[in-house]
Amino acid sequence: MNLVELARVRAVKTAYEKELLRKPNVVGVGIGLRQRGGKFTNELAIIVSVTHKVPWEDLAPEDRIPEEIEGVPVDVQAIGVPVAHPAIVEEEEGVED
């Protein structure tokens, strides 16, 4: 991976992020290393995080996530339902409100 490749992947991700986020089960879009068979490769990709994977043939054509966008690989990764956890804030000694 080099800076030119990273910049190109970042530009394509930015251009298509809103469109990808509108698809069913999509909960996030980022950039990372593609996974094959549960192992990371050295291939930079747009990572589309979904709650669960759905068989290709069960999706309407407009809901399918392409394998690549403008030549950039797209990797769909099932992460489940994201849960926000409350931040833990420790009180500083000697500081009063």
DSSP 20-83: HHTSTTEEEEEEEEEEETTEEEEEEEEEEEESS---GGGS-GGGPPPSEETTEEEEEEE-----
The domain limits of the chain are 3-78
Q: Give the pLDDT confidence of 74-94 residue by residue, as tens digits.
A: 999 999 888 888 888 776 665
Which helix (H) or strand (E) covers residue 13, if one does? helix 3-21
Q: Give the pLDDT confidence of 15-43 residue by residue, as tens digits.
A: 999 999 999 999 999 999 998 888 888 89
Q: Do 74 and 50 contact (CB within 8 A), yes or no?
A: no
What predicted TM-score, i.e. pTM, was given to this entire model?
0.82
Single-letter code of the amino acid located at 86: P
Percent of the chain with pLDDT over 90: 68
